[in-house]
Structure 1
């Protein structure tokens, strides 16, 4: 594991601050620890046999990553931004009931996220995929308890357009065009490269092909 991170504090496990674009672990490494994001954004990805990259997720504050069923990391993990990461020994699960409960809740949410990703990737419309991505980020923000106005939801996009493209199975140019299209429709505003303000969440959900509630 890279040693570029610096200790910040102690808790269940070591909390370290990793600079942006720093590997946390590599695909194929032994999975002896799990990780929790205390701040910043982590990207997980898988390198395919043809050298292509498939991004498998973006992890934000409070989320766990690095869980593996067979003792080996199937994905790699790298910081998108500077990130505080808590490293927890798998053996700690045997004695920490609260940690087990957190992981169980996280696992259910990861199953839900995986199902949503599969639904997103089966959408033939690139516009629907990008809209679904923004809706997912908005729902995650709500899940963390962030206060938000349904007509003015700020979504941070610290990842690059290429990262979003590799996650959604699109090209970088297509992602940029679809974001601009959604802005032209009045569903979002793009004040800068790394921010999307959702101004019409129900309309964005319709574009994504998801159920509008409320």
Structure 2
């Protein structure tokens, strides 16, 4: 049985949450692990000074709610209406196939976290916004098999404030940098929730991920 089919059979029914609905709160006892079936779920951490740090945007097929010590370190809330499946940690531990899938996903999350840390060390706000779009494009490209030369359309269902809290910027700065990248001809912004990357290599250079030609 393919891993995706096995996961569906073990995780069971999809529960649909409306947009902006909490799934669990930071500090809750971690009893279940979740997977996004459709839509987008955002994870975030409330800091001691009451600021909010977005820690991830989870899309179709991605797990969230992993905890090393029985307590959720982040909160989770839907960005859009989202279908979510879940499994108890006890049941997961007795299923080696799903455990292996989750382990592979955990390594990808480590890579995403390392990428975020690298993004946050960039001094340029333009580089941070460009790196965010590159991350979304690479995530979609791996799933959909886009050709390198083809424009890549990525959804931006999250608010500009959500993006700002993810990148450590202000909402106004995020909006300005998106406009700047559009004026440079690297992206199009057909609407507030969509970005079409027309020059992927150029965007990667702006993000500091490629040497200038």
TM over 0.5: yes
Deviation of the 1:50 alpha carbon: 1.4
Deviation of the 1:152 alpha carbon: 0.8
Corresponding position of 2:170: 171
| Residues in 2 aligned to 1:51 and 1:14: alpha-carbon distance in whole angstroms | 36
Unaligned runs of 5+ in 2: 1-7
Residues 36-55 of structure 1 correspond to what in structure 2 (within 5 A)? 36-55=35-54
Corresponding position of 1:74: 73
Q: Are the equivalent residues in 1 in contact too, given 2:53–2:165 (CA < 8 A)?
A: yes
Corresponding position of 2:125: 126
Once superposed, what is the RMSD of the aligned Cα atoms? 1.5
Deviation of the 1:197 alpha carbon: 0.1
Total equivalences in the alignment = 204
Deviation of the 1:204 alpha carbon: 0.3
| Greater helix share, structure number | 2
Corresponding position of 1:180: 179
Residues 1-214 of structure 1 correspond to what in structure 2 (within 5 A)? 11-147=10-146, 150-211=149-210
| Residues in 2 aligned to 1:31 and 1:148: alpha-carbon distance in whole angstroms | 40
Unaligned runs of 5+ in 1: 1-8
TM-score, normalising length from structure 1? Answer: 0.91
Q: Are the equivalent residues in 2 in contact too, given 1:14–1:88 (CA < 8 A)?
A: no
| Residues in 2 aligned to 1:153 and 1:178: alpha-carbon distance in whole angstroms | 19
Where do 4+ consecutive residues of structure 1 move more than 4 Å? Answer: none
Q: Are the equivalent residues in 1 in contact too, given 2:10–2:87 (CA < 8 A)?
A: no
| Residues in 1 aligned to 2:62 and 2:114: alpha-carbon distance in whole angstroms | 17
Q: Are the equivalent residues in 1 in contact too, given 2:41–2:77 (CA < 8 A)?
A: yes
- Partner-residue secondary structure (3-state), 1:144: helix
Q: Are the equivalent residues in 2 in contact too, given 1:13–1:89 (CA < 8 A)?
A: no
TM-score, normalising length from structure 2? Answer: 0.92
Deviation of the 1:132 alpha carbon: 0.1
| Residues in 2 aligned to 1:161 and 1:14: alpha-carbon distance in whole angstroms | 32
| Residues in 1 aligned to 2:193 and 2:72: alpha-carbon distance in whole angstroms | 29
Q: Are the equivalent residues in 1 in contact too, given 2:146–2:152 (CA < 8 A)?
A: no
| Residues in 2 aligned to 1:105 and 1:145: alpha-carbon distance in whole angstroms | 19
